[in-house]
Amino acid sequence: MKRAAAKKGYTARDMRAVSENPEWTRDDFARAKTFDEVCPGMRKGRGPKVPRRKRTSATG
């Protein structure tokens, strides 16, 4: 019995399903809220909020 070849990539149906989600603009990012603002109290039990590290150059 032959194995079916796995499909790769996205179908036209997949692309239509996500086409109504526009790219975010700078204004969208400026209006965005943090997880703590949207869902207060849900961080409980998930550990402390840890500040993100600053990026450094790889050649640095």
DSSP string for residues in 3-60: PPPPP-S--HHHHHHHTTSPPP-HHHHHH---HHHHSTTTTTTS----PPPPP--S--
Q: What is the pLDDT of residue 14?
A: 86
Joined tokens for residue 33? 């809220």
- Residue 58 inside a domain? The answer is no
Looking at residue 52, its amino acid is: R
- Residue 25 inside a domain? The answer is yes
Find the domain containing 17 and state its range.
12-44
Joined tokens for residue 39? 């869902």
Q: What is the pLDDT of residue 25?
A: 94
- Residue 30 inside a domain? The answer is yes
Task: For the chain, report the end-to-end CA distance as a whole number of angstroms.
Answer: 55
- Residue 36 inside a domain? The answer is yes
Q: What is the pLDDT of residue 1?
A: 55
- Per-residue pLDDT tens for 4-57? 566 678 888 888 888 887 889 999 999 999 888 888 877 766 666 677 777 777
- Residue 52 inside a domain? The answer is no
Q: What is the pLDDT of residue 58?
A: 66
